[in-house]
Amino acid sequence: MHEGHEQMFRRRFFVSTLLSIPVLLYSEMLQEWLGFSVPTFPGSEWINPVFAVIVFAYGGVPFLQMAVPELKDRAPGMMTLISMAITVAFVYSLASVVFPTQSAFFWELVTLIDIMLLGHWIEMRSVRRASSAVDELAKLMPDTAERLTEDGETEEVPVSELSEGDLVLVRPGASVPADGVVEEGDSDVNESMITGESKPVSKEPGDEVIGGTINGDGSLRVRVGATGEETTLAGIMRLVEEAQQSKSKTQVLADRAAGWLFYVALGAAVVTAIAWTVAVSFDATVIERVVTVLVIACPHALGLAIPLVVAINTSLAARNGMLVRDRIAMEDARKLDAIIFDKTGTLTEGEHGVVDMATVDGVDKDDALALAAAVESDSEHMIARAIREAADERDLSAPDASGFEAIKGRGVRANIDGSEVYVGGPNLLSQLDSEIPNHLQHFADKAGQNAQTVVYLVRDGELIAAFAMADVIREESFRVVDALHELGIEVAMLTGDSQDVANAVADELGIDTVFAEVLPEDKDKKVQELQDQGKLVGMVGDGVNDAPALTRADVGIAIGSGTDVAVQSADVILVQNNPMDVVRLVKLSKASYRKMQENIVWAAGYNIFAIPLAAGVLAPIGILLSPAVGALLMSLSTVIVAINAQLLRRVDLSIPELPSGTPATDAQPAD
C-alpha cells in the first residue's frame, strides 16, 4: 500500500509541477516581484485558471478522495484539512475570474498542491522503507528448490510445490527452501537473517534447518518438515506484520491529538477569518490567511511521529532476533522494575556438566574421566551424557568397554581391560560397601555445599575418583545480570530446584531475589508477588512450561523458543537462546520511546508556534506567510520527524564483551 501511494504521489508531483510552470510565469504578482515579463497573446489571460484547474483536478483531487473515509468515519484528520485548504483557495480563485475586481492567487494554489504532493511522496517513501521488514523477510525464501527423486536424480520445482517429507538438495551458497532436518552432509548455515546470530551455525545429520537461511560451503540433503504458512519464516512474517499494525500507548495519544488538531485548526481558521475581515474587510488577504492556517496545521508530522518509529523499531528488533507480538509490552519494557528469569535452560544450560573432579593418589584426572566415559558409553542418562561430553571437550579417548549393565537407582557397571568398573552415586557406594578416602569425602562435602551432585568412579572395589556435577551456568548469564543492574532493574530467579541449588546459582550470579521449589502451576503467583509490591515485572521463560507466568507478567518474554515463533503466551519472542537479548530488548524499548517523545514534542511544538504565525499575529511587523510557504514549513516539519525517526537505526544494541573475553554478538542493523 505504501509503495503504491509513494509512486502515485511521486508521479503526480512531477506532472503537477510541470503544469504549474505556465501559471507561475503568467502570474502578475510574481512578474512584479521578480521583475520579469512574458509575451502575451489573445487568450493568455486564461492560462492561469485553465492550468490551475488541471493541476487541481490531477494533483489536488486525490486529497479530496482520501478525505472521504475520514469524514465517513467522523474522524477528520490531515486529509480533511488539506482538502479544505485547497478547495477554499480553488473556489475563491475561480470566483475571482467571474468577479474581476477580486484578486486571485492561482500561483499560490498550484504551488500549494505541488508542495503537498512532495511532502506526501517523502512521507510515503519513509514509511515504505521503514515498513519493509516483512518484504525483506519474504525475499529470503527462494523461488525454486532441487527435489531429489526416488532414482536419486534432482528436479527443479517451485518451492510452493514442496510437501512435507520431500528430500531436497541444498547446494553451497543456496538458500534453504523450507524448514526441515539434515539427513546427509555437513555445512555451516548463515541464520543471521532469522535469529540475529552473526556467526554461521554448524549443521550435520539430525540438525534442524530453517527455510530462508543460507547454506555455506558444504552440500546438504534436507528432509522437508514444514512448508508454506507453517514455516518459521512465515510465522516471523506474521508476527512482524501484526506488530507494525498494532498501536502503542504513545501512538494512541498521538492519534487523539491529531484528531483534536483538526478542530483546533478549524476554530483558528474561523477566528482568523473574522479578525482579518474586521481589520481589513473581506478580500483575498482574508482567504489567504484562512488557507495558510488550514495548510500549516495539517498534522502530517504528528501523524508520522509514532508509526515511523514503530516501523523502524519492529524492523530493527526482527533483524536482531526479537519478535514483537504486543506493541504496548514493547513500550513497557523500558519501565520494568524487575525481571524474573526461569533458571533451567535460561540462566543455565539446562543440562548437567562436570564442574570439578578429584582423584586418589596415583590416578590421573584425565585417565579417570576417560574410564568413566567408557563405562557410561551405552547410557542415555543426563549424567552419562555430561561425563562423555567432558571427556570429548578434553579430547580424551575412552577405552573399550563390555558387559554394560545399568543398576537401577545406583549407577552403571562395565568391564574394561579385565577390571570391573562402576560409576554411580552414594547409593552405589553403600551397595559396594566402599570406603571414601578423606580428601574425596572433603571434596564431596564441598560439592554438597555448592548444591552439586557427586558421582563416584570405582575400579575393582576401590574408589578412585569423584566428579562434581551441576547444571552449568551459562557464560552470558553473568553479564546479563550485571547489565540489568546497570539499567536499574532488579533481577529475580524462578526454579523448581531445591533452595540450596537455587541459592548457589543466585549467589554466583549476584541475583537479587530467589524463588525456589516452585511448581510450574505456581510460577505465576511469584510474578504476582512482585507486582503486588507495585513493581512492573517482566518474565523470561521458555514459552511452554512458563506460559501462566508469561501471561501474568507485564512483559512476557519467551527465550530459547528457537523455531517455535508462535508462542501465544509471550509478548516478545527472542529467537536465540541468549539471555543477553533481554538487555537488548530493554535498550531498544528505551531508545524507541525516546524517539517517540522527541517526535511528539517537535510535531506538537511546531503547531503551537506555526498556527498563530499563519493566522498573522506578526502582521504588524510585516511578517506574513503565504499558503505556499505554510505548505513548505508543514512539509519541512514532516521531513524533520522522519529524519529523527531514522536515527533510531543507530541505536547501539551490541552486547558488551563477556567476562571470559568471548567476542560479543554483533547487533544487526535495520533494513
Q: Give residue-wise pLDDT tens across range 279-317.
A: 878 777 787 788 778 777 766 666 667 777 877 887 788
Sheet with 187-190: list strands edge to edge: 201-203, 187-190, 214-215
* Cell reading at 144: 525454486
Q: Give per-residue pLDDT as tens, 101-136.
A: 455 668 778 887 887 787 678 667 756 655 554 555
The CA distance from 88 to 77, in Å, is 17
Start-to-end CA distance of the chain, whole Å, equals 18
Q: Give just the sign of the alpha carbon dihedral 477, 483, 487, 488.
A: positive
Q: Give just the sign of the alpha carbon dihedral 509, 512, 515, 521.
A: negative
Does the pTM surpass 0.75? The reply is no
What does the pLDDT read at residue 21? 94
- Structural contact between residues 489 and 496, judged by C-beta atoms closer than 8 angstroms: no
- Structural contact between residues 234 and 242, judged by C-beta atoms closer than 8 angstroms: no
Q: How many CB atoms lie within 10 A of CB 660?
A: 8
* Cell reading at 361: 593418589
Where do the H-state alpha helices sit in 450-498?
Answer: 475-486
Residue 398 parent element (H or E): none
Place of cell 539434515: 182
Residue 310 parent element (H or E): helix 300-319
Residue 462 parent element (H or E): strand 462-473
Contacts of 270 (CB under 8 A, 6+ apart): none
Sheet with 179-184: list strands edge to edge: 154-158, 144-148, 167-170, 220-226, 179-184, 208-209
* Cell reading at 166: 520431500
Q: Which amino acid is at 374?
A: A
The CA distance from 318 to 212, in Å, is 14
Angle at 575 between CA 208 and CA 579, to 5 degrees: 120
The CA distance from 354 to 597, in Å, is 50
The CA distance from 515 to 211, in Å, is 39
- Structural contact between residues 243 and 314, judged by C-beta atoms closer than 8 angstroms: yes
* Cell reading at 205: 545429520
Enzyme catalytic residues? 342
Burial class, 218, CB count within 10 angstroms (exposed 0-12 / middle 13-18 / buried 19+): middle
- DSSP bridge pairs for 514: 493
Which 3 state secondary structure label does DSSP give 160? helix
Block means of pLDDT (10 residues each) for the chain, length 671 residues?
74 94 85 84 89 93 88 78 78 74 69 78 65 58 87 88 92 90 90 61 88 87 87 68 56 64 81 87 78 74 73 79 79 92 79 86 91 86 83 89 82 90 86 86 83 85 89 84 93 81 85 85 87 93 71 84 50 81 91 88 77 83 74 75 86 61 47 48
Which 3 state secondary structure label does DSSP give 351? strand
* Cell reading at 659: 567476562
The CA distance from 14 to 281, in Å, is 38
Residue 370 parent element (H or E): helix 365-375
φ, ψ (nearest 5 deg) of residue 473: -70, 135
SS (H, E, C) 163-204: CCCCEEEECCCCECCCEEEEEECCEEEECHHHHCCCCCEEEC
φ, ψ (nearest 5 deg) of residue 342: -70, 135
Residue 175 carries which DSSP code?
B
Q: How many CB atoms lie within 10 A of CB 71?
A: 13
What does the pLDDT read at residue 216? 86
The CA distance from 507 to 505, in Å, is 6
